[in-house]
Amino acid sequence: MATSSAHMESEFHNPNLEVLFSAEEIQARIKAMGAEITRDYAGLNPLLVGVLKGACFFLSDLMRSIDIKLSVEFMAISSYGSSTRTSGEVRILKDLDVPIEGRHIIVVEDIVDTGLTLSYLLANLKSRGAASVKLVALLDKHERRERPVEIDYLGFQIPDHFVVGYGLDFAERYRNLPFIAVLKNPEA
């Protein structure tokens, strides 16, 4: 195996990152959110819908803090920075594998930014005859909102900075950070 210094550089201690929420802070907040959802959805057998890829990490921890019968599905929608973005057009790249008529849906998202993705997705799921559709988001960048989106369960409110880690990426990098950090210089 090569032993060049490039292989030794720690991604977790990258000086281009400024920690916003530690792994411990994230886990504590998720436990509280899970307890709230456990109380609210007792007996309702909700279907958690994770939005790929970013929300997987959050979803995986959150669902283990929800102590009731539930199931989980995934959707993929056109990603941040796509050319259709400014038009507000959103594309479903991977749809649900099950019908949701009469089900209680909890959409799990990593971050709500402009709200374009979520306002489309929530309306789309409601139109399929779900009994209820609610949203849980780990982060809310409220200042950037262009479309109103109601967040039923929120982890943290954050200022208008580009953040990475705990599933959030910049050009597919940094998803593996156990904490959430501000990316100081995206060009670096």
Closer to ligand IMP at the Cβ: 44 or 96?
96
CB of 125 to ligand IMP, least distance (A): 15
Closer to ligand IMP at the Cβ: 77 or 130?
77
63-95 in b/e burial notation, b at 16+ Cβ within 10 A?
Answer: bebbeeebeebbbebbeeeeeeeeeeebeeeee
Q: Are 143 and 160 in contact (CB under 8 A)?
A: yes
Q: Residue 149 corresponds to which tokens in the numbers above?
A: 């989106």
CB of 107 to ligand IMP, least distance (A): 11
CB of 163 to ligand IMP, least distance (A): 4
Query: What angle (nearest 5°) sits at the alpha carbon of residue 60, between those of residues 57 and 62?
Result: 105
| Helices (runs of H) and strands (runs of E) counted in the chain | 3, 9
Active site residue 113: yes
Selecting among 113, 140, 160, 169, the annotated active-site residue is: 113
- 124-183: contacts with ligand IMP (CB under 6 A): 162-164, 168
Q: Which of 17, 26, 108, 116 touches ligand IMP by CB under 6 A?
A: 116
